Amino acid sequence: MNKLLKLPIFLGVVGCLCGGVLSLTNFITKDKIAQDEYERANAAYYKHFAEFKTKKEVALTDELKAGGVTLKEEIFSDEQQTASLGYIYTCSVVGFAGKSSPINFTLSFADGKINNYVNLGHGESAQGAKFLDWLDKGGNNLTNLDAGKAETGSSVTYGAISKAFSLCTADYLANYNK
Amino acid sequence: MKKLKVFLNGLLYENPTLVIFLGMCPALGTTGTIENAVYMSLCVLFVLFLSNVIISSIRKIVPNEVRIPVYIIIIATLVSIVDMLFHAYLPYDVYQSLGSFISLIVVNCIILGRAESFASKNKVSDSIIDALGYSAGFAMAIIVVAFFRELIGTGALSWAGHSLQIIPSEYAIKLFSTNSGAFITLGLVVAGYTAIMEAVKAKKAAKEKLAENK
């Protein structure tokens, strides 16, 4: 009887002590882990706005939806969402008259002009992606996409991307000038 | 003298990876880069050191019938602590590439083996030396394997995002970066290590024979 009680009690005590140590470690590390995970999840936002803190989704117009824009967000540098930094449009477009692979990217605007372009991934071949590489390098400050038409693969990707660029720019400026 | 013997036992004569082939899972899975191998070695050092210290300290009060569950609970706790600390403070890429191998330390035979066969029978100071010897032996083996795999497989050695190209990348043999390459490299390192140890033994024996004849 003595042994019957002693063994489970001993195991219980060891388990409780280990649980306590684990709780303490979790208490010490949880904030750092949560902060890192938040930053990782929002890494793309920091590429557009280094001071990014919070974001607010904005309703899309039918025209934007039809042009491949999947998300429009206003970006703020504070928790209260009073200090606006600009807007980010997330796009997923398909080149070659809808027969190619999707090209995913985000485009941001601030102070009445294009702020940055971030490539989120595409299914183009190395040759087909030359125009996208040109954009990644900040091709012509992203203001004149026609200058990249000479790049290989632009015939496949240029049309869809420039259409999305134009739509986003028009939408941003229409609201900016209000 | 006894302490040095205990240390050298883990480091050389009973090297866990190269001689008694324990803990082969991380030895194969985390040796793609030197950086991963170093962090895995630190993980094993932390867990083995503390598990040996704790188990040796409580060896007289642990009932024999429940000693294995107690060891497992202690080791699992230490592994979970390492996992949380690595998640919080290690570069995320490194943490991700170590992946499940950190959790798998719970079932690493080196840790449980040393707990059962050494720490539970010896005093704390000897258990510390034993943990250091075995950790050093494990670290030495997997870092050597990782060095050859990374160098031959990619032609470069990298650390924290910085890379030093030693062999032009077109001469790199990609096979060594794959799982098959891990087996091949480990086999070659074991063969080389065994040859060196045999040569040392033979030399020592010849010396002793010469001394006897004199």
Q: pLDDT for A98-156, tens place per residue?
A: 566 788 888 899 888 888 888 877 776 666 667 777 777 766 566 666 666 666 555 66
Question: Which residue did the predictor score with more confidence, A3 or A37?
Answer: A37
Q: What residue in B sits closest to A11 (Cα-Cα)?
A: B70
Note whether B88 contacts A: Cβ–Cβ < 8 A: yes
- CA-based angle A137:A35:B106, to the nearest 5? 110
Q: Give the pLDDT of residue A113.
A: 85
**pLDDT given at position A97:** 59
Contact B62, B149 (CB under 8 A): no
Tell me, yes or no, whether A36 and A58 share the same domain: no
How many angstroms separate the Cα of A76 from the Cα of each of A84, B70, B71, B82? 4, 52, 51, 36
- Residue A154, CB-side half-sphere exposure with 13 Å CA sphere: 14
Judged against a pLDDT cut of 60, whether residue A3 lies above it is answered with: yes
User: Are residue A82 and residue A102 in the same domain, yes or no?
Assistant: yes
CB B84 to CB A14 under 8 A? no
* Residue numbers of B between 33 and 62 with CB closer than 8 Å to A: 62
Instruction: Write out chain A residues lying below 8 Å of B102, CB-based.
Output: none
Most confident residue range from A143-147, B23-27, B141-145, B209-213: B141-145
Phi-psi region of A138 (alpha: psi -120 to 50; beta: other; left: phi over 0): left
The domain of A97 spans: 48-176
* Runs of H (alpha helix) within B9-114: 24-29, 34-57, 67-89, 92-98, 100-103, 109-114
Token pair for B47:
């867990």
Q: What is the pLDDT of residue A21?
A: 95
Please give the Cα distance from B126 to A37 (Å, whole number).
Answer: 41
A149 touches chain B (CB under 8 A): no
For chain A, what is the mean pLDDT?
A: 82
Is pLDDT above 70 for A86? yes
A136-A138-A143 Cα angle (round to 5): 125
Residue B63: domain span: 2-213
Q: Report the pLDDT value the prediction gives residue B27, as an integer from 0 to 100.
A: 86
Record: contact A36-B62, CB cut-off 8 A: no
CB contact under 8 A, B69 and A40: no
The answer to whether residues A72 and A123 belong to one domain is: yes
Domain identity same for A66 and A134: yes
- 3-state SS class at B16: coil
A15 touching B, CB under 8 A? yes
Structure tokens that stand for B29 in this block: 């899975």
Residues A64 and A108 reside in one and the same domain:
yes
Nearest by CB to A36, from B77, B85, B92: name it.
B92
Task: Judge if A23 and A68 occupy the same domain.
Answer: no
Shared domain check, A84 and A14 = no
**What are the tens digits of pLDDT across the range B133-185?**
999 999 999 999 999 999 999 999 988 888 889 888 888 898 998 889 999 99
> Amino acid letter at A77?
S
Amino acid code (one letter) for B189: V
Are A33 and A75 part of one and the same domain?
no
| Co-location of A136 and A69 in the same domain | yes
Using the predicted structure, report yes or no on whether residue B91 has a pLDDT greater than 80. Answer: yes
The pLDDT > 70 percentage for chain A reads 80
Q: How far is B141 from chain A (nearest CA, A)?
A: 30
Chain B residues within an 8 Å CB radius of A6: 63
Decide if B80 and A22 are in contact by the 8 Å CB cutoff. yes
Which position has the token pair 């290690």? B90
Does residue B100 register a pLDDT over 90?
A: no
A35, pLDDT greater than 60: yes
Tell me how many domains chain A contains: 2
Q: Is B92 on the interface with A (CB under 8 A)?
A: yes
Strand order in A54-58's β-sheet?
A54-58, A69-76, A84-94, A102-110, A113-122
Question: What is the count of structural domains for chain B?
Answer: 1
Our CA-based measurement puts residue A28 at a distance from the nearest CA of chain B, in whole angstroms, of 9
What is the rounded average pLDDT of the residues B27-54?
92
Segment holding B165, helix H or strand E = strand B162-165
A137 touches chain B (CB under 8 A): no
Does A18 touch chain B if contact means CB atoms closer than 8 Å? yes
Q: Which of A127-131, B3-7, B110-114 has the lowest mean pLDDT?
A: A127-131
- Whole-number Å distance between alpha carbons of A22 and A28: 10
Indicate the pLDDT class of residue A158, thresholds 50, 70 and 90: confident
**Reduced to 3 states, what is the DSSP secondary structure of residue B119?**
helix
- A16 burial class (0-12, 13-18, 19+ CB within 10 angstroms)? exposed
Determine whether the interchain pair B66/A10 forms a contact, defined as Cβ–Cβ distance below 8 Å. yes
Residue for token pair 């042009």: A67
